[in-house]
Amino acid sequence: MRDSVDATAFNSEQGNRARKLFAAVVLAALDDAIADDKKYGNGPEQIARWARSRDGREVLSCAGIDPNERVVEGLMLFVSKGIRTSVALSREECERRQNAALQHPKAA
């Protein structure tokens, strides 16, 4: 019985690690699209093409993200804002956005 519980916990841990790895690939794809947007002006189209591709849908699914059209539109919006993922996920940026939302509720 104990071996079964240990195996289940191990498999769950491995699954979480794999999801995090694929999430990192999604973040890298976003950063690449943002760089393309700054350089060539086609970042949102690039991320949409990737997310709709077979490989992109597979990576999104493995990251735990449902690869539907709403997600593609959200990725495109994120890229069009031009904020790198490392900055967008930082604590300072989250606090700045939260303060802006409190000061200007309709802007958020």
29 contacts: CB under 8 Å, gap ≥ 6: 47, 50, 56, 59
Domain that holds residue 11: 2-83
* Model confidence at 18: pLDDT above 60: yes
- Which one is predicted more confidently, 94 or 69? 69
Total-model pTM: 0.79
| H and E: helices and strands count for the chain | 6, 0
* Model confidence at 106: pLDDT above 70: no
26 belongs to a structural domain: yes
The two structure tokens encoding residue 35: 């760089």
99 belongs to a structural domain: no
Query: Residue 6's pLDDT is what?
Result: 77
- Number of domains comprising the chain: 1
19 belongs to a structural domain: yes
The two structure tokens encoding residue 95: 């606090």
Model pLDDT for residues 38-84, shown as the tens digit of each residue: 999 999 999 999 999 999 999 999 999 999 999 999 999 999 999 89
Strands (E), 22-102: none
9 belongs to a structural domain: yes
How far from chain centre, in Å, is Cα 103? 27
